[in-house]
Every structure is written in structure tokens, then in C-alpha cells.
């Protein structure tokens, strides 16, 4: 029988203070995990942690961490291992999007979306998962890692495509340690800032209704979490290195 029971597990979720990351913090905690919430906004991460701890009764702690800063990642992962004893599950969700062609914006987007995921996984694997000889990691990509737009966000597309390729390499390298790594690509999801990237919630809904998306709407709260729960569970023993799109069927349409 499949139970998806996370009691006794420790999850680390980046960009967990708000948006989709906050949804993941809540659903992992409801499933039984204790959770470390990483965010560049440390105060909001701590507020979110308190809120979800009250809601679920799990141990939730907020940490200020810029995922693109190597020292902060090394130190913050060490702090989680000290506080919680180990890390079983990671969702690399922190991400940004910048419009235009300024080099500084390109470097910032690659730094957070791609380098941040690389650094976080390197440290979690080294400091905890290789020692336990077990781990489950999800790297959040985007439909923008598969399909491109002419909207002036080349860095976002490149970073999210990079996440998909890096996921396959990590899955290959760490399989001998029973560490399974997959990527999940959201389409347009309502409860994250980027799901509103058409300009406003209403504009984003209008756009989805007219686009190739066969469900003709954005994703809703909770529609991302199920696949993450499966991929990070003990029941997942053989799905590794995959990309799973949660986009209503959008990327598959002509």
C-alpha cells in the first residue's frame, strides 16, 4: 500500500517564504516532514515557518539564505544539519525572472536559478545525503525551460533549460548513493508571483484561456504539490533524472 508518510523526515525548501514555495512547505509539513524554509528574505521565511508550524504542529524553521551565495549555502546547510540532524528531501524552488538584455540581469538570473540549485544540491548531498546513503531532490524548472517566448527573458529560459540538463547529470552521479534527482516544470500557476507574469492575475487568466493550454486556466493552489510528494517519498524508488511538466498539457499542444 502506498502511504507517502513523511513522519521523521526533514525537508529543505528554497524560496519557501511565499508563493509556490510556501505551498510546498505547507504540504510537506502536512505529510509529516519537519521543514527548513530557506529564503533571501529571512524575516519572511521565519514568519512563514511560524505560521506553518502553528497550522501543522511540525517543527518548521526559517533561514536567511541567498542560494546564489556559496558561503551562505555552505553555512545554512550546516545550520540545518545541526538543528534537525539530517536532510532527507530538497525542493530547489527559489527563482527569479528579469526582463531585458543587461549583463548584470543575465548573471543574476543564472546565479539564482542555476548556480543556486547547483550549490544547494552539492552541499546537501555532501553534508547529509551521501552520509545517509539516501535522499530525494526536486529541482524546479519551468515550462520556459522547454518552450521559449520572444518576451525578452532569454536568461530565464536558459537557466531553466540548464536546470533540466543538470538534473539528469546529478541523477547519474548520485544514484550510487540512493539519491534520486528529478525536475518539475510548472506551467502558469496562480499562487506564485511568476504565474502573474502576464501583468496581473486577470491578464494571466485571460492569456491562459486564449493560449494553447487545453485546460484553459492557470494551475491552482495544491496542484503542484502532489508530484513533489511522490518524487520525494520512499515510494519513489525508480523515477530518476526525469522532467515532469505540470502545465495542464500546454507544452504538448501545437
Ligand X SMILES: NC(=O)c1ccc[n+]([C@@H]2O[C@H](COP(=O)([O-])OP(=O)(O)OC[C@H]3O[C@@H](n4cnc5c(N)ncnc54)[C@H](O)[C@@H]3O)[C@@H](O)[C@H]2O)c1
Q: Measured from the CB atom, is 135 or 186 closer to ligand X?
A: 186
Q: How many residues form the binding site for ligand X (CB under 6 A)?
A: 31
Active site residues: 156
Sole window of 51-59, 91-99, 121-129, 233-241 interacting with ligand X (rule: CB under 6 A): 91-99
Q: Measured from the CB atom, is 130 or 198 closer to ligand X?
A: 198
Sole window of 59-67, 83-91, 131-139, 173-181 interacting with ligand X (rule: CB under 6 A): 59-67
Residues 120-149 close enough to bind ligand X by CB under 6 A: 140, 142-143
Q: With binding defined as CB under 6 A, does residue 182 bind ligand X?
A: no
3-state secondary structure the chain: CCCCCCCCCEEEEECCCCHHHHHHHHHHHHHCCEEEEEECCHHHHHHHHHHHHHHHCCCEEEEECCCCCHHHHHHHHHHHHHHHCCCCEEEECCCCCCCCCCHHHHHHHHHHHHHHHHHHHHHHHHHHHHHHCCEEEEEECCHHHCCCCCCCCHHHHHHHHHHHHHHHHHHHHHHHHCEEEEEEEECCECCCHHHHCCCCHHHHHHHHHHCCCCCCCCECCCCCHHHHHHHCCCCCCCCCCCEEEECCCHHHCC
Shortest Cβ 183–ligand X spacing (Å): 11
Which residue in the set 7, 43, 193, 200 belongs to the binding site for ligand X (CB under 6 A)? 193
Which residues in this chain contact ligand X in the complex, by CB under 6 A?
14-15, 17-21, 38-41, 65-68, 93-96, 112, 116, 140, 142-143, 186, 188-189, 192-195
Amino acid at each position: 500500500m502506498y502511504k507517502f508518510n513523511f513522519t521523521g523526515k526533514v525537508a529543505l525548501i528554497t524560496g519557501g517564504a511565499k508563493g509556490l514555495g510556501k505551498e510546498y512547505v505547507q504540504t510537506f509539513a502536512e505529510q509529516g516532514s519537519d521543514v527548513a524554509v530557506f529564503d533571501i528574505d529571512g524575516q519572511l521565511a521565519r514568519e512563514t515557518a511560524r505560521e506553518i508550524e502553528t497550522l501543522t504542529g511540525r517543527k518548521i524553521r526559517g533561514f536567511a539564505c541567498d542560494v546564489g551565495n556559496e558561503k551562505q549555502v555552505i553555512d545554512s546547510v550546516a545550520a540545518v544539519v545541526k538543528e534537525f540532524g539530517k536532510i532527507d528531501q530538497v525542493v530547489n524552488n527559489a527563482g527569479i525572472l528579469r526582463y531585458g538584455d543587461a549583463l548584470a540581469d543575465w548573471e543574476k538570473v543564472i546565479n539564482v536559478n542555476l548556480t543556486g540549485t547547483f550549490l544547494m544540491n552539492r552541499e546537501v548531498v555532501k553534508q547529509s545525503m551521501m552520509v545517509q546513503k539516501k535522499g530525494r531532490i526536486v529541482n524546479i524548472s519551468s515550462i520556459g525551460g522547454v518552450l521559449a517566448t520572444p518576451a525578452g527573458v532569454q536568461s530565464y529560459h536558459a537557466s531553466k533549460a540548464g536546470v533540466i540538463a543538470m538534473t539528469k547529470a546529478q541523477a547519474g552521479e548520485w544514484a550510487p548513493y540512493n539519491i534520486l534527482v528529478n525536475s518539475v516544470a510548472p506551467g502558469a500557476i496562480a499562487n506564485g508571483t511568476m504565474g502573474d507574469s502576464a501583468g496581473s492575475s486577470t491578464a494571466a487568466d485571460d492569456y491562459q484561456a486564449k493560449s494553447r493550454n487545453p485546460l484553459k486556466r492557470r494551475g491552482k493552489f495544491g496542484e503542484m504539490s502532489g508530484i513533489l510528494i511522490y518524487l520525494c517519498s520512499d515510494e519513489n524508488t525508480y523515477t530518476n533524472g526525469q522532467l515532469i511538466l505540470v502545465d495542464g498539457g500546454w507544452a504538448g499542444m501545437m
